[in-house]
Amino acid sequence: MEGEVQGHVEQTARDAKPQASGIENLAYGSLSGMMGKFVEYPFDTVKVRLQTSETQVFSGTLDCLKQTWQHEGFRGFYRGLTSPLLGAMAENAVAFYAYNQIQSIIRSASHDSSAGLSLPQLFASGALSGSICAFVISPVELVKCKLQVENVQGYASGAQTSRVKFQGPVSVVAHLLKTQGVGGLYKGILPTVARETLGVGFWFGTYELVCQMLLNVQNRDGSAKLTKSDLGAGSIVLAGGCAGIGYNITSYPIDVVKSFIQTDDVRAAASKERAGIVSTIKTVYSRGGIAAFYRGLGITLIRAFPANAAMFMTYEYLTRLSAALHSH
């Protein structure tokens, strides 16, 4: 099976239609990130609140949904959206651009620009693009997490809403620059790099693997060989959704540590832990053992499938439209 999948990876690379240009990759990646973020953000808010709150605040995912609605209404699920929306557009633009450029470099190094890449090479391309993306997304996620978690401290006391320190993304950035300088915007950068390197490697790797497995099935009838650009919407949805699942399952514990570190000052009234990586791992573990590193994973996987399916659908069909226009 592995040999068959590998053969289709190489065949797809040789038969593929003209690739999108660098500018097009940036544009299409940006639009795909915007689509995915609108779908996933309410779920992401619940995920971050479950990751970082005391266990007595929320009994689980449904309780978090209920309390957020009661205390803040519909807007509570989209609190802090502006920053991550722009960040998702920038992150995906860089991710798809870097992913394709790294593949081109690998092909150039092999002295065969039409050569197909192996699955490990595709994974490595994704991992390297993820490490680059981390420096784009880290400040954005820092702002997002602070805004998502800030109101939660008032829930346990029974208050309708806690005193809000920040008025929005701009006020968070201004506060960080004033109190911590530019370095304050990159708090939690190490776990962010680790998460993106591992997660994006599996994100692209899983997507490519599922696409090639689907092509392997469709090409068994011996007719003309199909390529990834021939896959239908259902196949892209399946591959994109699986990519989101792969990303989150592999990187989720690192994401918990990252979120915990980035919100330590917001949770200061209820938490006195230092924000170091080792101490944070110990603190998270003390809250429930290994299971504590997966708190909120359920709702994350629920939103991962449709959100990532939307992202890859947007990107794939924009690149296909571009190829069609270029061919005429």
Q: Give Cα 265 distance to the centre of its chain.
A: 24
Q: Report residue 61 as tokens.
A: 């995912």
- Residue pair 71/151 in contact by the 8 Å Cβ criterion: yes
For the chain, helix, strand, coil in percent to 5 are 75, 0, 25
Residue 322 to residue 300: CA distance in whole angstroms? 32
Q: What is the pLDDT along the chain (328 residues), one digit of tens a residue?
A: 445 455 545 444 444 445 677 888 899 999 999 999 888 888 888 887 887 777 667 877 888 888 888 888 878 888 878 877 888 899 899 999 999 999 999 988 876 666 678 999 999 999 999 999 999 899 988 888 888 777 665 565 554 444 557 777 888 889 889 988 998 899 999 999 999 999 999 999 999 999 999 998 888 776 667 888 889 999 999 999 999 999 999 999 999 999 889 888 776 554 554 568 999 999 899 988 999 999 888 888 988 999 999 999 999 999 999 888 877 6
Distance set, CA 125 to CA 14, 19, 102, 229, 310 (Å): 18, 16, 6, 20, 22
Residue 241 to residue 109: CA distance in whole angstroms? 32
Helix (H, G, I), strand (E, B) or coil at 79: coil
- Residue pair 280/273 in contact by the 8 Å Cβ criterion: yes
* pLDDT for the residue numbered 326: 77
* pLDDT for the residue numbered 15: 42
Residue 221 to residue 95: CA distance in whole angstroms? 35
Residue 267 to residue 26: CA distance in whole angstroms? 36
* pLDDT for the residue numbered 28: 92
Q: Report residue 20 as tokens.
A: 């999108």
Task: Please choose, from the candidates 188, 206, 211, 183, the residue with its C-alpha nearest in 3D space to the C-alpha of residue 259.
Answer: 188
Query: Judging by beta carbons within 10 Å of its beta carbon (0-12, 13-18, 19+), is residue 158 exposed, middle or buried?
Result: exposed
* pLDDT for the residue numbered 152: 64
* pLDDT for the residue numbered 2: 45
Residue 82 to residue 2: CA distance in whole angstroms? 43
Q: Considering the entire predicted model, what is its pTM?
A: 0.80
